[in-house]
Amino acid sequence: MVVGMWATGSTARRVPGIEDAGPLTSWGLPLARIAVDIASVATVGALLLAGVLLPGGRALGRSRTTCLTWAAVAAGLWSLASVALMVLTLSDLFARPVAEVLDPATVADFALTSAQGRAYAVTAAAGLVLATLCAGVTTVPWTRAALVLAVGAVLPPAFTGHSAASADHDAAVTSLALHVAGVAVWVGGAHMMMRSYITGAVRIENTDPADPTPYVYLSTRTPQALANAVDADRTR
């Protein structure tokens, strides 16, 4: 990622005569944005898998508990990345190094008076709440409540910027927010569905001449035992 940013010139370039926030902000700001996006989508996806997609009753089984652990870790990273993004954005706006804007009063003022600052503060707080909540959830209804909170927490940044400042752009801002929520659910859910929550798997060759599928994968926690059972059945 860092090599790609360097090769494509994605970081801000210093212009003579214009104040510069320094290399930490130039490199850290895009990386923090990426970290926030990845962590937020991972949180939503893990909660979607635990609360909606996995089968089972109201109690949490082993697979759902594992997903909640992923969600707690991702939410914690989401909160930390949001705090870093807020500080780096402040550094970039004032064109001052991070060390010069790390004053609690300055950061608090940015978080309270700026739309961007409030959005990042809300997502940071939501990530912290989700990390705590996911670590102690024991039922599916609470998991679904956490999912609703996670989807809501990805929305605040969509309501910042030039478009959000004008009433004429309400439809555009609302559609953007709905798009962001939909992408978070779709991408997060798809990623978690593709990432097998059971790490072991056995590849079984398909010998049916009428079926073009060459082989199938079966997820299992005991792949060697399943492979032995399949081999024993074939030698009958």
CB 22 within 8 A of CB 88: no
E strand or H helix at 204, and its extent?
strand 201-205
Confidence band of 163 (pLDDT split at 50, 70, 90):
low
The pTM of the whole model exceeds 0.75? no
Mean pLDDT of 190-211: 76
Judged against a pLDDT cut of 70, whether residue 2 lies above it is answered with no
Of 202 and 234, more confident: 202
Percentage of the chain modeled with pLDDT above 90: 35
pLDDT at position 157: 86
CB 188 within 8 A of CB 45: yes
Question: What's the pLDDT tens digit per position in 26-50?
Answer: 889 999 999 999 999 999 999 998 8
What's the chain's length in residues? 236
pLDDT at position 167: 55
* CA-based nearest residue to 127, from 64, 46, 183: 46
DSSP 203: E
CB 155 within 8 A of CB 41: no
Average pLDDT, the chain: 83
d(CA 107, CA 86): 8
Tokens at 50, concatenated: 């635990």
Confidence band of 12 (pLDDT split at 50, 70, 90):
low
pLDDT at position 198: 65
Integer-rounded Cα radius of gyration of the chain: 23
Question: What's the pLDDT tens digit per position in 131-142?
Answer: 999 998 888 899
